[in-house]
């Protein structure tokens, strides 16, 4: 503790490679999970808008489950539980293709899709019904009215929560460490246990996480400014 | 599969509920709840201070509050657990238990998130509240503690319950440093049974689901009730001080 910080330690052995590979895995995980979460989130929000009672209930249950169960537990269920239900041949296929990485994407993506669908839904609900009526009265079809009138406004309203959910998704990829995905947190623990330079290792990783989170927040703020509807 | 879950529950319910207590340390759901309640209660005063700093007109108070809040919001919880795990013992000179590590982490983490909730409550109040209070001769601090905070905290009760749900979910990460809480207990069961990972983790998910969705429902009910009272609907006879203040201003 009394010794001075020595960041050159991190350049020894194959630490730089571990860190860089960790960052790449982390970003891949974030990217794939984000795409999955967005795709399913949009689908769920649309399903909920159909006013079909069964579809609404199913989506509500999906959202409740994913918001009320810790993501760590969801990751365990996907990684340890779900494969045992699959036929052996499928299990083999998964195991040959880094199943931990695939299941981490599925678990993180599905969990965040629930959050994303909720923020899209509240964006859509914030648009007064008269907007749709006016658009329809002007002769737009339901789909056109949704796409050209409702969604552009709803997305602007949902943008701040979408950005904070993106940050949340990014932070939560660190949980993939528990099932052995070699992302940044995993790499950090490896390096720490080999080098014993705890402060340097954790400081570097913390700064990387914080930097990327702040970048996402700043990007979101930029988008908000750019697409703000100017009133008066 | 449902039968499997029942069997596992029947054979292990004490382990899941209280761990090895009375013959060993307390664990399971009891520790999860103790961690969450204690974490949130200890985080509350810190979060009020952070929120006041965040909305303060003085940059010297605002800057550190913003720095703390953004750092916590930008770094994964797991990283904080490791920081506390390695550095609190270095700072105080003795080792601390996994439970204490997790408690300290939860307090730091939740303080920042609760501060944002409270800030939203403060900024959600009409400006007239502060103006009227200042016009009546109250100082800035009096205004904050007697007019703004009581209303902001009351309005934000539902959001705080949601934050409690988040805290319960976050304590599952105690597993990473072997805190003997619910997720850890389920993993113990899983490694003794070996062949039943799916039922074990479905059961674990269901326990969290029941607990957290009940709390979420309660938060929603409370939110509707508060919204009704705020919108000037049927007033309850025991109107809070904040209601009187609001009425005084609309009357003026």
pLDDT of residue A49: 79
* Residue A1: pLDDT over 50: no
pLDDT of residue A8: 79
Q: Percent of chain B having pLDDT more than 90?
A: 72
pLDDT of residue B233: 56
User: Does the beta-carbon distance from A167 to B200 stay under 8 Å?
Assistant: no
Spell out which residues of chain B touch residue A72, defining contact as CB-CB under 8 Å.
Answer: 172-173, 175, 183
B49-108 pLDDT tens trace: 999 999 999 999 999 999 999 999 999 999 999 999 988 998 898 889 999 999 999 999
> Which residue ranges form the domains of chain B, and what is each CATH number?
2-251 (1.10.3720.10)
| Contact present, A56 and A128 (Cβ < 8 Å) | no
pLDDT of residue A3: 59
What ipTM did this prediction achieve? 0.88
* Residue B252: pLDDT over 80: no
| Contact present, A78 and A2 (Cβ < 8 Å) | no
* Residue A96: pLDDT over 90: no
Test mutation, B69, B79, B112, B214, chain A, max A CBs within 10 A: B79
Alpha-carbon gap, residue B179 to B24, rounded angstroms? 14
Among A93-97, B171-175, B239-243, B248-252, where is mean pLDDT lowest?
B248-252
* Residue B248: pLDDT over 70: no
Band (pLDDT 50/70/90 cuts) for residue B239 is: very low
pLDDT of residue A219: 95
* Residue B243: pLDDT over 70: no
Residue with more model confidence, B55 or B241? B55
Chain B residues whose C-beta sits inside 8 Å of any chain A C-beta: 70-71, 73-79, 82-83, 86-87, 90, 165, 168-170, 172-173, 175-176, 183, 187, 190, 197-202, 204-205, 208-209, 212-213, 216
Most confident of A83-92, B1-10, B211-220: B211-220
Please state which CATH number belongs to domain A7-227: 1.10.3720.10
pLDDT of residue A36: 97
Give the distance, in angstroms, between the CA of residue A53 and the centroid of all CA atoms in the same chain.
28
pLDDT of residue B229: 85
| Contact present, A41 and A49 (Cβ < 8 Å) | no
pLDDT of residue A143: 86
pLDDT of residue B175: 94
Burial-class residue B59 by CB neighbours within 10 Å (0-12, 13-18, 19+).
Answer: exposed
Mean pLDDT over A122-146 rounds to 90
* Residue A137: pLDDT over 70: yes
Instruction: List the one residue out of A194, A193, A188, A198 whose CA is nearest residue A19.
Output: A188
* Residue B235: pLDDT over 50: no
Band (pLDDT 50/70/90 cuts) for residue B245 is: very low
* Residue B237: pLDDT over 50: no
Spell out which residues of chain B touch residue A181, defining contact as CB-CB under 8 Å.
Answer: none
Give Cα separations from A148 to A131, A160, A182 (angstroms): 11, 21, 43
* Residue A185: pLDDT over 60: yes
* Residue A99: pLDDT over 80: yes
Three-class SS state of B116: helix
pLDDT of residue A46: 85
User: Does the beta-carbon distance from B197 to A73 stay under 8 Å?
Assistant: no
Alpha-carbon gap, residue A201 to B86, rounded angstroms? 12
Band (pLDDT 50/70/90 cuts) for residue B11 is: confident
Residue with more model confidence, B242 or A74? A74
pLDDT of residue B142: 94
């Amino acid at each position: 503790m009394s010794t001075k910080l020595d960041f050159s330690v991190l350049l020894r052995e194959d630490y730089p490679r571990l860190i860089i590979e960790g960052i790449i895995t982390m970003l891949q995980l974030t990217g794939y999970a984000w795409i999955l979460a967005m795709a399913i989130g949009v689908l769920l929000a649309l399903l909920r808008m159909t006013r079909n009672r069964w579809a609404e209930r199913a989506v509500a249950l999906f959202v409740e489950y994913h918001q009320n169960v810790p993501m760590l537990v969801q990751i365990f269920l996907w990684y340890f539980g779900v494969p045992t239900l699959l036929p052996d041949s499928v299990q083999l296929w998964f195991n040959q293709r880094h199943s931990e990485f695939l299941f981490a994407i599925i678990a993180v993506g599905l969990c965040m899709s629930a959050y994303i669908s909720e923020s899209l839904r509240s964006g859509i609900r914030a648009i007064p019904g008269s907007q749709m009526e006016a658009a329809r009265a002007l002769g737009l079809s339901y789909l056109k009215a949704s796409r050209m009138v409702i969604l552009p406004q709803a997305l602007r309203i949902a943008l701040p929560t979408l950005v904070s959910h993106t940050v949340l998704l990014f932070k939560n990829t660190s949980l993939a460490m528990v099932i052995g995905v070699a992302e940044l947190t995993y790499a950090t623990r490896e390096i720490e246990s080999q080098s014993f330079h705890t402060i340097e290792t954790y400081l570097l990783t913390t700064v990387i996480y914080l930097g990327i989170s702040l970048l996402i927040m700043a990007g979101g703020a930029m988008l908000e400014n750019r697409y703000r509807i100017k009133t008066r | 599969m449902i039968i499997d879950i029942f069997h596992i529950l029947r054979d292990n319910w004490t382990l899941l509920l209280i761990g090895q207590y009375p013959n060993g340390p307390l664990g399971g759901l009891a520790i999860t709840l103790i961690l969450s309640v204690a974490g949130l209660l200890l985080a509350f005063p810190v979060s009020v201070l952070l929120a006041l700093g965040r909305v303060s007109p003085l940059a010297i108070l605002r800057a550190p509050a913003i720095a703390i809040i953004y750092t916590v919001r930008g770094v994964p919880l797991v990283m904080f657990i490791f920081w506390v795990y390695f550095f609190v013992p270095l700072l105080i000179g003795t080792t601390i238990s996994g439970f204490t590590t997790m408690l300290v982490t939860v307090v730091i983490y939740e303080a920042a998130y609760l501060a944002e909730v409270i800030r939203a409550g403060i900024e959600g109040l009409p400006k007239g509240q502060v103006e009227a209070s200042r016009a009546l001769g109250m100082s800035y601090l009096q205004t904050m503690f007697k007019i703004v905070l009581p209303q902001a905290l009351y309005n934000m009760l539902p959001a705080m319950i949601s934050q409690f749900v988040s805290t319960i979910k976050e304590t599952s990460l105690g597993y990473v440093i072997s805190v003997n809480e619910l997720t850890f207990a389920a993993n113990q069961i899983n490694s003794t049974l070996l062949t039943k990972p799916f039922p074990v983790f479905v059961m674990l998910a269901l326990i969290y689901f029941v607990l957290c969705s009940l709390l979420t429902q309660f938060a929603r009910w409370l939110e509707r009730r508060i919204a009704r009272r705020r919108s000037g609907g049927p007033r309850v006879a025991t109107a809070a001080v904040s209601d009187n203040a609001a009425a005084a201003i609309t009357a003026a």
